[in-house]
Amino acid sequence: MIERYLTEEMNRIWSDTNKFKKWLLIESLAVKALESINQAPKDLHLAFNSVVIIKEEILKIEETTKHDFIAFIEHITNQQPDLASFIHKGMTSSDVLDTATALILREAGNQIIDRIDKLLYALKSKAIEHKYTKMLGRSHGMYGEPITFGLVLTTFYSEWVRNRERLVRAIENISYGKISGPMGNYTNISPYVEEYILGELGLNIEPISTQIIPRDRHAEFFMILGLLGSSLERLGVEIRNLQQSSVNELSEGFSKGQKGSSAMPHKKNPIGSENICGIARLLRGYVMPVLENVPLWYERDMSHSSVERVVFIDSTGLCDYAIKRMTSIVSNLEVHKDVMEQHIKDSKGVYNSQSMLVGLMGAMMSRDKAYELIQRKVFGGEVLPDQKDYMEYVEHIYTRVYS
């Protein structure tokens, strides 16, 4: 993951420091569990408090072991030899790695939830501000009936409420650990140890695992992030379309000293929304690899590992960054009410075509004849008269969405 698209918060969550801290905690809890069933000396777990994690030393050991977790264990026992006969007893590395990953994904997911909450606040605030800002709706890019810009934003607000609910469920379904040994059948470790560790960590016990936690849990989580990408792109596309020179109803905030183009000084490009639309492609692109991680060989193979080392941090990091940037874009949107009003005036009332159609049908004219009459008038350049108050629905929809 390049630093340009990695937030400070997500960088901390995926740091080696945070990872090693969780590995150490799980191993400490395992020894503590063994103490409670008289399989390890009393208070031996306190030795973990004196362990100092030095990344460079672990990497040096890994050059020989060719196994990052074994290097980690050796690093600990080099400092605390008394732990050597009890650390990682009856466990496999995936017990620790998958359980720690569940903790980290939960942190990353909750970080994204926090971002979503801020985006929801920005959307709602802007929607309330422009509750009655009248503009033309568009269907196939053609003028439709008048709506309000607040209603446009409300459609996105409602979508992100659903996105939040989806991600909360995905976080719940990823919050599972396992401490059940190489085949998941507790051959050399008591189920009590698993219950103790996961209870302390606030994780659920994987009902039946292999050497690893089933990867359908991870696939679901990242499928939701892919969906968040599409929702981000839908909002980004709306802003980009309304910012086109020929439309000019919206524009992203433009700060003092900002430049839109190296060649054309007049331009204010929607670079933020364009950036987010590009990131959305990556978020969706990461979905396929995690889906392909689900069908592993027998009780486990290593083909998923390289994928996860890249996708987990990149996908969560990009999602966090993109939602943060979109929140800033929404908060600083420039809404050109005068242009919106002018487009309504320039439309020659074509937005009234359906109201006139319904009115003529109500006067007992056949639908076909009414349609042909209105179409002839519109294509001939005539102005259609107002038939309906298009603002009467606003209160009803806002009450339904924001109550």
Active site residue 261: yes
Q: Which amino acid is at 339?
A: V
Q: What's the pLDDT band for 267 if we cut at 50, 70, 90? A: low
CA angle 117, 281, 6 (to 5 degrees): 55
Q: What's the pLDDT band for 265 if we cut at 50, 70, 90? A: confident
Q: Is the pLDDT of residue 38 over 90?
A: yes
Q: Is the pLDDT of residue 260 over 80?
A: no
What's the mean pLDDT in 159-163? 98
Q: Is the pLDDT of residue 264 over 80?
A: no
Give dist(CA 296, CA 290) in Å, integer: 11
DSSP-based three-state secondary structure for 334: strand
Q: Which amino acid is at 80?
A: Q
What's the mean pLDDT in 218-226? 98
Give dist(CA 171, CA 381) in Å, integer: 56
Strands 176-177 and 204-205: parallel
Q: Where are the alpha helices (DSSP H) in 51-148?
A: 55-65, 68-79, 93-129
Choice among 139, 140, 246, 262 that is catalytic? 140
| Sign of the torsion formed by the C-alpha atoms of 67, 73, 74 and 75 | positive
pTM for the model: 0.94
CB 191 within 8 A of CB 248: no
Q: Is the pLDDT of residue 115 over 80?
A: yes
Q: Tens digit of pLDDT for each residue in 175-207?
A: 999 999 999 999 999 999 999 999 999 999 999
Q: Is the pLDDT of residue 93 over 70?
A: yes
Choice among 36, 67, 85, 261 that is catalytic? 261
Tell me the domains of the chain and their CATH numbers: 3-248+269-338 (1.20.200.10), 339-402 (no CATH)
Q: What's the pLDDT band for 336 if we cut at 50, 70, 90? A: very high
Give dist(CA 67, CA 61) in Å, integer: 9
Other CB atoms within 10 Å distance of the CB of residue 121:
14
Give dist(CA 41, CA 51) in Å, integer: 18
pLDDT of residue 303: 95
pLDDT of residue 268: 77
- What crossing angle do the helices spanning 216-243 and 93-129 adopt, rounded to 10°? 30
DSSP 183: T
Give dist(CA 19, CA 72) in Å, integer: 11
pLDDT of residue 263: 67
Contacts of 343 (CB under 8 A, 6+ apart): 135, 136, 143, 249
Q: Is the pLDDT of residue 254 over 90?
A: no
What's the mean pLDDT in 67-87? 97
Report the half-sphere exposure of 152 (CA within 13 A, side-chain side): 26
